[in-house]
Amino acid sequence: MIRKVKTFLHIFYNSIIPHARYYSKILKVNFSFSLKYFLTLIVILNIFFILSIVKKYSPKRINTVLNSLIISLQKSPDDLIININNGRLITGYNRPYFLWLDDQDKKRLLLVIDETASAKKILIYKSFFLLTTNELVMNNFKNSDLSVLPLSYVQNQQIDKAKINFFVNNLEKIKLLLPFLSLILIIALIIILPLASFIITLIYLLLSTLFVFLLYKIFVKKHFRFKKIFQVSFHSATLPLLIDYGLIIFRPTIKLNFISYLPTLPYPFLFFILLALFIGVGVYEAHVKHE
């Protein structure tokens, strides 16, 4: 086991930045050797990703939020009646209603019901949701963009204290099942995420390899085998994958002034370009002749 770990770390270290001394050896090893490394890398990265999800949405935290939501709903006024009829909301409460949550020792405003408010007032309230006369507004917090759902898409209904209590009872049942549901979800993530990530990244690598293969075929006279370029891609994808998962897990906020002058490209296309760049350099380094 220790030997396998050392072998993986050796491959990982030498694969991060393509260089001739190591990449030239890839051409001489079996295709399965590189495929096993790539699969192991995907599994390890997804383990870190799953751990970040569990840390952020731990059962303890979810249980705390559920308790806080239950308490807040139980404190809702008896005379609060919400009617949605033909896309129009009426409460008859004559003032805004605020639903608060306690989350990690912080008071967060979950919902505001304000019939007279405009959609943009959610930025003043700093709440997650805002119900106005005609709309359900959702706050993204990270930017000023708001998600708005017209109440015309919501079926006619009346929400009173009895329905709120019924909802609270269901939340109590979910809270009891939370440990079991959390275990099932974690197992599902362990199975599904690495498999989905492997398939999606493999498609990216195939497309990037084909792109690099065609470029070399057009501009370089030397013959390159597609299978070997594909094999090199398993190693040269190391740093792009580290960047990809790092951005997903840590979500860093980077402000670069020159970015505003560049055209906005979709993330999948940027990832494709990054992979193609590293694969191209990896293929070049693998075929460099040394004395």
One DSSP character per residue, 23-69 reads HHHHTTS-HHHHHHHHHHHHHHHHHHHHHHHHHHT-HHHHHHHHHHH
Residue 50 in any domain: the answer is: yes
Domain boundary among 183, 211, 229: 183
Residue 192 in any domain: the answer is: yes
User: How many alpha carbons lie under 13 Å from residue 289 in its C-beta half-sphere?
Assistant: 1
Distances in Å between the Cα of 235 and the Cα atoms of 22, 177, 222, 274, 291 are: 10, 43, 22, 14, 24
pLDDT at 142: 66
pLDDT per residue of the chain (291 residues) written in tens, 0 to 9? 788 889 999 999 999 999 988 998 998 899 999 999 999 999 999 999 999 998 888 888 888 888 889 988 998 888 888 899 888 998 877 788 999 887 666 788 999 999 888 888 888 888 999 999 999 999 877 666 788 889 988 888 899 899 999 999 999 999 999 889 889 999 999 999 999 999 999 999 999 999 999 988 888 766 788 999 999 999 999 999 999 999 888 876 444 444 444 444 467 888 999 999 999 999 999 887 543
Residue 242 in any domain: the answer is: yes
pTM confidence score: 0.78
Whether residues 80 and 35 fall in one domain? no
Residue 46 in any domain: the answer is: yes
Whether residues 25 and 81 fall in one domain? no
Residue 291 in any domain: the answer is: no
pLDDT at 143: 61
Written as six digits, the tokens of 274 are: 């990054």
Whether residues 136 and 214 fall in one domain? no
Q: Which residues lie closer than 8 Å to 1 by C-beta, 6 or more apart?
A: none
Whether residues 72 and 52 fall in one domain? no
Whether residues 64 and 175 fall in one domain? yes
Whether residues 205 and 275 fall in one domain? yes
Residue 37 in any domain: the answer is: yes
pLDDT at 258: 40
Whether residues 212 and 109 fall in one domain? no
Whether residues 157 and 79 fall in one domain? yes
Residue 249 in any domain: the answer is: yes
Whether residues 75 and 139 fall in one domain? yes
Report how many domains make up the chain.
2
Residue 176's domain comprises: 59-183
pLDDT at 245: 92
Whether residues 138 and 160 fall in one domain? yes
Whether residues 88 and 149 fall in one domain? yes
Whether residues 155 and 167 fall in one domain? yes
Closest CA to 62 of 141, 177, 139: 177
Written as six digits, the tokens of 136 are: 């359900």
Domain boundary among 151, 167, 183: 183
Angle, CA 158 vertex, CA 152 and CA 162 arms, to 5°: 150
Domain boundary among 183, 205, 229: 183
